[in-house]
Amino acid sequence: MSDLASTLTEEQLTILKDAALDFALSHGLVVRPPPTPLSKDDPHHAALSTGVINAPISLFPTPFPKQAFHNAVQIQPLFSQLVHDISEDDAFLREIMESLSHVDDFVKRLYDMYIAVKKEGIAQPASLGIHRSDYIIHLNPGQDFSEAAIKQVELNTISVSFGSLSSLTADLHRYLQATTGYFSDKVDLDALPTSESIESIASGLASAHKHYGSKSAKVMMVVQPGERNAFDQRWIEYNLLKKHGIVLIRKTLAEIADHGRLDPTTKALYIGDQEISVAYYRSAYATTDYPTEKEWDGRLLAERSLAIKCPTLAYQLVGAKKVQQVLAAPGQLERFVKDPQSAALLRASFTGLYPLDHTPEGLAAYEAALVNSDDLVMKPQREGGGNNIYGKDIQVALKKLSAEQRNAYILMDIIRPPITKNVLLRKGELQRADVVSELGVYGIYLHSGEQVVRNDVGGHLLRTKGVESNEGGVAAGFAVIDSLILV
């Protein structure tokens, strides 16, 4: 299967490409092209395109070990519960966030807001998590491909994307197999798992809306201005309306600040005259989402409100890379996961994670990285692609940082995945490539403040990139959206 493209003629590849482009444009498997500068003299001011291009996708599904996929699906509810349990532990969060606050201004602003809202009093005890845990499969020398094991790259707790476009890409591959057979007998339709992430994410929002208890209220998606990936978001909006009869509105943080208000008695959030049941963040995860104080004001208004947040500030803070590293230390995961079998399943997905703080472990990791950093990746607390540091660049970066500044980063062992082959489709053009893939599994988690309302798996995402690329973000331009063929 991984060599299938090499057996096809250029004519056959063109047939597949044309069919894929038509499917993508017909089904909303698209993104907006980069904005066009309004003038040559002012390249920073640009107009949002009214046209679309196909989302970057693979032409073929990528082989993935069946057992590794099932393991990732099995442990997703455990990770979702873990996020909630950590968010309830003020002492654990305080210890980590206060140390990060000295070296990361963005984390400090979020944590200060979290403390301020708690001091005022949490208006809404319920919380909604739409999480995604990302994995790369690791293959030891001499192992068969089917024996590769998942290793967690990160756990995302805010603005997890591509739930819609990943479902559509799986549908595309099933369509191409049904209509062309991929000009081969090597692709079994039963080996192509579907992903119900569009429906699952919309269902999670609907559950939170129902729990809020006002039929006339609306769900609010908090978006970035000029969002190029709006179509991934729109499918959730359309499904929420069609399947659940719930209207979703889109607002930026600045618009919340300009048009939002709280009921003085109930703290219900209103945008104009419209009550908001759920604040669903598809932004607010990066410094660039807060260019002025107005955006911070909008976030604070929403956080103080009765609306159910997805995620809460606490859930967002739990997604920090430092939390991931601390949990990997002996005994830390077991503080929250009391069942030994569940803890073992989660630990089996961990790779080597090391601090860069003032502890003996942090100083040892720092000294070791200065000697050899070829098998490491250095990660900040930031979400989104393009922020990690690799290889010899780690040594250059470490020498520029003070001992205190190093605490804003962690080190992680590089995961060495097996290399497969695929054909990537970007902007209507095909590119044959040696590729590696990253699996993401979505989790839908709703807690009432007293008990778990739901905790289930919400579908999956596969991102595939050329082996020459270190980063894996689709929106950041490094990868394409793919789907699985289980082997």
Which residues belong to the active site?
132, 154, 156, 161, 321, 379, 383-384, 463
Compute the distance between CA of residue 246 and CA of residue 280 in angstroms, rounded to an integer.
14
Query: What does DSSP say about strands 127-138 and 484-486: parallel, antiparallel, or unpaired?
Result: unpaired
Query: Do 471 and 386 meet the contact criterion of CB atoms below 8 Å apart?
Result: yes
Q: For the chain, report the end-to-end CA distance as a whole number of angstroms.
A: 10
Compute the distance between CA of residue 66 and CA of residue 61 in angstroms, rounded to an integer.
14
**Closest residue by Cα to residue 195 from 481, 487, 466:** 481
Who's near 396: CB < 8 A, 6+ residues apart? none
Compute the distance between CA of residue 23 and CA of residue 16 in angstroms, rounded to an integer.
10
Q: How many CA atoms lie within 13 A of 26 on its CB side?
A: 9
